[in-house]
Structure 1
């Protein structure tokens, strides 16, 4: 009777302990706490179950308090608390508890060593490993070997491997994985051939390694030699073919598989999706004997990828158990299609949002310019990552709200290179070139290394400011940083030198590029045109054609502009004609503006006007502006007035248009018309923009706005200017100046 009662009580406690464990795993921590508190009989397992439940739900303090209350904690108790601390990255607390342990088992050592290895702290892991008294345990040896190998420290891994008292198959595979996962296939192959024993995992590693480095022939060679390939072998090879566009070979392999599980079906569907063959993916999906969440998510992603958003939603609705990944894929589809209201509705239906889901919504609103909505989502986020902050900076910059972009940037706890690039690019997009350069300098002072994007933006800022000396300094930094061969940076260097008037330095950069692209050619052609070397620009265009580089719309803007500045009227018209007839490049408004300018400069105003009237596209401000400028030069008031009226319709608030028209009337002594333009300007509420000038002095850019006392030495500068003006007005000074000119 007594034995039966003890057995029943023991069984009851066992069931309660199991229940606590289950409640903890499912997140129902309050129910677990209540059950534990009501237990009349508690054993060590009861305490361990409750500690584990606390730890799994992130309630570390309560777990530790319970552990300290335990009458007789065992090794499992100690290990549970240490594992909980490590799971929540509380390594200091875990280390302190580890040091206090009266006794440690293999699991205790492997917990600490594996944590340090997983976080890349190899030296701390090695220090613990060296303290191990029982060196026969292969688990820690294998973990250390794997840790060294994953970090590419193959010599350290091999030394440790050679010292192992007893090697098992896991040891051999750990070493092999280091080589194959780091793309060291020559060393991997050599080690594979030396292995005492191999299993299918070893063969699969070799196949996967060759697939990762793009050597499909070697991967196939190894696949064919596998004694008993498993599903992983087949799927690895299949995925290799799919990733490299060999979809037919992938399908052949799939059809040859002796047995298929859901993973293999998913791999083949993913292959079709990756190659945008959504109909084939759909057919295969319908044939599947069973589907899991990956199957449904892959199909939803596939429909989104090819722009079939409604079909993607249909599949999401049919999905038996919806997960955040599938729902986020659907939100991404709505974002791509600018259907943000539908994205928002779906977002609100998701029970638990992951970081990708939050960021997808922020990115969507930012792309649509709805920064109030993006800011609202951003503020709701509990755990923001770097992507969240950087997306907000980019979003505000795109809508021209740089003050808010700066505020977000300053609020960031940590910044990476992308954060700085986002801010610098934002300044560039909004024409704040000085601020872009200042940020470039501050980035270096903060210790962040610029990448190719940073250098390109910095050089572009110098180009727009014609800040040659600063541009040269950045050029030196580019060389030191190893980005001199980066095409993106080299093209930015060409533009910087060209816009700073040093077109032959730009040409030297061009000649040093190993593989120039169409952007390189366009940048140099535009540089020659900009600096008045029209014939050289045309010659460069001809060299480009001989080199076999196909011109694009930007090329023709540059070369037509060159013809205009060099007075090569017939050659320019011939090139314009060849655009569509020879090179299949349809003329845009920019090309018509160049030709109008070309004809206008030559005084062929009637031809220019007839071209504008006969265009297939609608004339923009650039075209009417070119016609207005030519009309003023050749004093054709009638045509100039017509061009000006069209220009004012397109740009009613641009000061220069009114000024140009007013000057034309003034030159023809039409003072009533001058007054009419001034009245029209007032009615349109056009405010004259303050003039801006800058000068580069001792590697520093000094900017000056008219009627602005912002410069620290403004009063001193004004006094100096007044003194110079007084000297110039002095008759004696003018006499001396004229004598100097006569001498020259």
Structure 2
């Protein structure tokens, strides 16, 4: 404010001109210098310029720019006929500060005073529509812009694209974009971002290509948005290529790449990228970044990196904010490591008035199989009058026994969750798990709406309780309703056939997967067919099917064969299954014990001794509960 100081000194010698005072007000507006602006206001009064409408307008603009709406109002209200500049200053303040209703009120009052909007007013009003996600009002403003000849203005069009996209109307956003007579980088960035946030990821990448061909150079916002599109498509290596083209990646760039690899399960890569970011040291990890990395930490075995990140977060970020953002991820991470004490410590640091805190703890305990503790926390939550949300209820229902599950069902009725599909899906699973297929089916039938998870839950419920034909009938009903089955549907149906001995029906469904539905069977589907044949005693057919599989058999496949071999006392096939399990999991001591016992049953004593020696040679300890000698060998 050197200019202001110069004028203030000069004011002691002579009166300031209106031009000089205007210059000072402009500097105060740009630098948000409210105190100097007030002093200049005094000089205006002293010099007798306060009745000048031009100077009064400049004062309104200065106070609005400095975010002092009270003084802006006082000056504005003294104007006999506020001009478009005064109205613009007031509307900009309300729009900028998220006061959308006040912005609309002043906009309507401005028109009533026969002051018509221009290219500076309308973008502010449209941004207010965006704050309220009010597309109807935005559409009305768009029509008025056509009337007043502002509809092709660059800033107005950019604000329209942003408004339409955030209100979920990407088609209208694209229509505005295509009609623009000129575009800037913000225009392209806004539409690319709109496509990404609405899930039109391929279109976002395509538009990025058009932008480059039009001669626009991407900025950091463009690069980050395109990276996000690739990550959401699961093409994280493409996102990484984009990342390497950014001269100075910001924390959003790093976090986008980190969270992308975390989502597709490449957790070692996630940690590697984070370490690279920390070693470069140009950006600091924020809450979003730390939370994303913590998600990956729980999937990397033998790593203490999660605990190190926990300590790093406490040291570098506000403790309350850190636990609010990263607390749920920390709970799940410690649950994965079975560190109960650390879970309790994290929970105690989290906000107990937040339903997310309780839900995360219940989820972590459920993950550990500690159903009783999970239900205890749920009950304590009710005592403290923390209102459950749909995630809480969907999390607690799978660990409920029948009695508690019925109590939660009553809680759902009392608290108005009757139309929440996810909660009712969890209810179906709970009743099915507890053998109450009739009640589960009643819940299913009376649902106001169903999604693919609803059908899968009910089909799986029939299957786990031995009602294979009912599961097949429900699959047919599902197809007639227009819901297309997914991979889990077929897994549930095949499992239902397996548990009910419906071999021919199960094989028929398996072959229909690719012929009628266009699904390529995955490992779990092959495992279901093996289980189907093995349970029915068709062990030779099961082995032949394994040999014809286009994918490599895993432990689930041979585990099913081994279990059936024991049930049907087929030692030869059991030995084959156990031998394959040892090859698949060479450090699983239980497999060696099982194979040794199978050899004993087959009378192959030398092979049994060889397996025990092999186990000793790699220092494997016999797990508790296993015996090298089985009764009835």
8 Å CA contact 2:330–2:346 kept in 1: the answer is yes
Residue 82 (structure 2) aligns with: none
Please give the alpha-carbon distance, in whole angstroms, between the structure 2 residues aligned to 1:539 and 1:265. 51
Q: Select which of 684, 687, 695 maps to 2:623.
A: 687
Go from structure 1 to structure 2 and tell me whether the alpha carbon gap of 1:138 and 1:352 turns closer, same or farther (over 3 Å shift): farther
Go from structure 1 to structure 2 and tell me whether the alpha carbon gap of 1:357 and 1:597 turns closer, same or farther (over 3 Å shift): closer
Tell me, which stretches of 5 or more residues in structure 2 are unaligned?
A: 1-5, 14-26, 42-58, 79-85, 231-235, 262-268, 627-633
Residue 179 (structure 2) aligns with: 253
Q: Which protein is bigger by CA-based radius of gyration?
A: 1
Q: Select which of 426, 431, 452 maps to 2:390.
A: 452
Alpha-carbon distance, 1:492 to partner: 0.4
- Per-residue CA deviation, residues 186-206 of structure 1 (Å, 9 max, x unaligned), is x99997899455534368636
Please give the alpha-carbon distance, in whole angstroms, between the structure 1 residues aligned to 2:359 and 2:516. 40
8 Å CA contact 2:271–2:296 kept in 1: the answer is yes
8 Å CA contact 2:122–2:145 kept in 1: the answer is no
Tell me, which stretches of 5 or more residues in structure 1 are unaligned?
A: 1-6, 15-21, 27-44, 50-73, 77-105, 118-128, 142-167, 691-744
Q: Select which of 212, 233, 236 maps to 2:133.
A: 212
Alpha-carbon distance, 1:494 to partner: 0.2
Residue 563 (structure 2) aligns with: 629
Aligned residues: 537
8 Å CA contact 1:528–1:537 kept in 2: the answer is yes
Residue 333 (structure 2) aligns with: 395
Secondary structure of the equivalent of 1:586?
Answer: coil
Secondary structure of the equivalent of 2:457?
Answer: helix
Secondary structure of the equivalent of 1:532?
Answer: coil
- Per-residue CA deviation, residues 434-475 of structure 1 (Å, 9 max, x unaligned), is 22222222222333222111101100111xxxx101011111
8 Å CA contact 2:92–2:124 kept in 1: the answer is no
Aligned Cα root-mean-square deviation (Å): 5.1
- How do 1:187-206 residues align onto structure 2 when only pairs under 5 Å count? 195-197=112-114, 199-200=117-118, 201=121, 205=125
Q: Select which of 376, 383, 403 maps to 2:318.
A: 383
Residue 190 (structure 2) aligns with: 267
Alpha-carbon distance, 1:579 to partner: 1.5
- How do 1:15-26 residues align onto structure 2 when only pairs under 5 Å count? none
8 Å CA contact 1:601–1:630 kept in 2: the answer is yes
Alpha-carbon distance, 1:676 to partner: 6.0
Please give the alpha-carbon distance, in whole angstroms, between the structure 2 residues aligned to 1:609 and 1:472. 44
Go from structure 1 to structure 2 and tell me whether the alpha carbon gap of 1:679 and 1:348 turns closer, same or farther (over 3 Å shift): closer
Please give the alpha-carbon distance, in whole angstroms, between the structure 2 residues aligned to 1:8 and 1:221. 47
Q: Select which of 284, 295, 301 maps to 2:211.
A: 284
Please give the alpha-carbon distance, in whole angstroms, between the structure 1 residues aligned to 2:580 and 2:494. 24
Matched, 1:490 2:424: yes
Please give the alpha-carbon distance, in whole angstroms, between the structure 2 residues aligned to 1:672 and 1:311. 58
Residue 83 (structure 2) aligns with: none
Alpha-carbon distance, 1:360 to partner: 5.9
Secondary structure of the equivalent of 1:316?
Answer: coil
8 Å CA contact 1:269–1:285 kept in 2: the answer is no
- Per-residue CA deviation, residues 258-308 of structure 1 (Å, 9 max, x unaligned), is xx666546535645766553464366368678x8xx943333332353244
Matched, 1:224 2:146: yes
Residue 169 (structure 2) aligns with: 244
8 Å CA contact 2:565–2:573 kept in 1: the answer is yes
Please give the alpha-carbon distance, in whole angstroms, between the structure 2 residues aligned to 1:223 and 1:312. 38
8 Å CA contact 1:573–1:595 kept in 2: the answer is yes
Please give the alpha-carbon distance, in whole angstroms, between the structure 2 residues aligned to 1:314 and 1:660. 51
Matched, 1:519 2:446: no
Residue 512 (structure 2) aligns with: 578
Please give the alpha-carbon distance, in whole angstroms, between the structure 2 residues aligned to 1:315 and 1:471. 54
Alpha-carbon distance, 1:139 to partner: 8.0
Alpha-carbon distance, 1:501 to partner: 0.8
Residue 62 (structure 1) aligns with: none
Please give the alpha-carbon distance, in whole angstroms, between the structure 1 residues aligned to 2:196 and 2:434. 48
Residue 549 (structure 1) aligns with: 483
Please give the alpha-carbon distance, in whole angstroms, between the structure 2 residues aligned to 1:223 and 1:263. 20
Go from structure 1 to structure 2 and tell me whether the alpha carbon gap of 1:439 and 1:364 turns closer, same or farther (over 3 Å shift): closer
Secondary structure of the equivalent of 1:526?
Answer: helix
Q: Select which of 282, 285, 297 maps to 2:221.
A: 297
Q: Which has the higher contact order (CA 8 A, sep 6+)?
A: 2
Output the TM-score relative to the length of structure 2.
0.69
